[in-house]
Chain A
Amino acid sequence: MNIIRASALALAVGAMSASLAIAQDAKAYGKPLSLKTATPISAILKNPKSFEGKRVQVEGLIVEVCEERGCWIKIASDKPFESIRFKVEDGVITFPMEARGKLVLAEGIVAVKSMTREEAVEQARYMAEERGTLKSFDPATIKGPVTDIQIMGDGARVK
């Protein structure tokens, strides 16, 4: 029975350690950042092909978070009216909704995808579903083919 008591104690201590770890590292997500300098988001959006497949670090304001799974954020560019999607693997990193309006330093690989109008509509429909705005989604707002630029992320620090 002593073994069971010791196991119960170990389990409780483990759970408490995990809780403390959550509290201490609440602002770090995924892998540690490895790059020294950040690339302006505007530079990536201006010339995406030159960044395709390359690892970048970006910095900016989090302006949107995936409501359903926390599996992506939108980061505002350094130039007006621009933002880029930072997508992470489902379940590996989960961004909380409270991250909106906070600054983030994030790293990942730039992905560029040319989509037909039909593919763009399908992706927009999926995004609307994740945002919970599927009922008001209007496919007519997508006029033609779209070049989708996003960062496939694996690490971020929310300030």
Chain B
Amino acid sequence: MTWRRWSIVLHRDIGYLAVGLTLAYAISGLAVNHRADWNPNYRISKEFVNIAPITAATTPEVVAAVVSRLGLEGTPKNTFQPDPQTLQLFYKAKVVHVDLPTGKVMVERTVPRRVLYEMNQLHLNGPKKAWTYVADLYAIALILLAVTGLFVLKGRLGITGRGGWLTAAGVLIPAVAWFLYLR
């Protein structure tokens, strides 16, 4: 088999293998690239309600009064007072923040974004361990895809013709970015 035939075979089959990871990494890339504008991992909702001011003396009494007045189901798994005026109740998927003297309450619900959360974890190597090596293999696969892709076609559409000009334009993108932003 010629080296060009090897390029075609490798490019085709590594391309098939890399489709799943490429989609996951690309979608996650779009999501985390704009994290200044949104939270790519969680849907966080904040609901504001008012209850009567809480004047109970001890923390258990305060917690009981808040749970009762808000009609919350079950006792919180934990509580915390960052200051004497504020109480936080921790439930499985929500945190209730209470301003005790005024009775102002914020119920904050946090739900992971389905699929996107997992994609982001894999993209940013959250799991570490064996996933590090899977990601390394994927990076090597991308290098092979890039290099073999240069030699798939020959002639005026290949690397010695139109393909060469497009490759040069593509290389210029990071070079210009470096010149404008990182130099």
Contact = CB atoms under 8 A, between A and B. Distances in A.
Interface of A: 1, 4, 7-8, 11, 14-15, 17-19, 21-22, 25, 61, 63, 67-70, 76, 80-81, 83, 91, 94, 96-98, 100-102, 132
A97 to B, nearest CB: 5
A51 B137 CA distance: 43
A39 to B, nearest CB: 20
B71 interface: no
B95 A67 contact: no
A83 B82 contact: yes
A101 B44 contact: no
A101 B17 contact: no
Interface in B125-146: 125-127, 129-131, 133-134, 137
Contacts of A94: 121, 124, 126
5 contacts: A14-B130, A18-B134, A21-B129, A97-B44, A101-B91
A89 B88 CA distance: 27
Interface residues of B, number: 33
A18 B82 contact: no
Interface of B: 13, 17, 35, 39, 41-42, 44, 76-78, 80-84, 88, 90-91, 93, 95, 110, 112, 121, 124-127, 129-131, 133-134, 137
Given A18-B131, A21-B131, A63 B17 contact: no
B82 A63 contact: yes
B17 A7 contact: yes
B80 A63 contact: yes
Contacts of B82: 63, 81, 83
Contact of A80 (B35, B81, B88, B90): B81
Given A22-B121, A100-B90, A101-B78, 20 more contacts: A11-B134, A15-B131, A18-B130, A18-B131, A18-B134, A21-B129, A21-B131, A63-B80, A63-B90, A68-B35, A76-B80, A80-B81, A81-B81, A81-B82, A97-B41, A98-B93, A98-B112, A100-B95, A101-B90, A102-B78
Which 6 residue pairs across A and B have the least CB separation, nearest first? Answer: A101-B90, A18-B131, A18-B130, A22-B127, A21-B129, A63-B80
Given A63-B88, A100-B95, A15 B134 contact: yes
Q: Which of B13, B39, B83, B130 counts the most chain A CB atoms within 10 A?
A: B130
Given A100-B95, A101-B95, A17 B80 contact: no
A98 B110 CA distance: 8
Contact of A67 (B39, B84, B125, B127): B39
Nearest to A91: B124
Nearest to B125: A91
Contacts of B112: 96-98
Contacts of A25: 129
A132 B81 contact: no
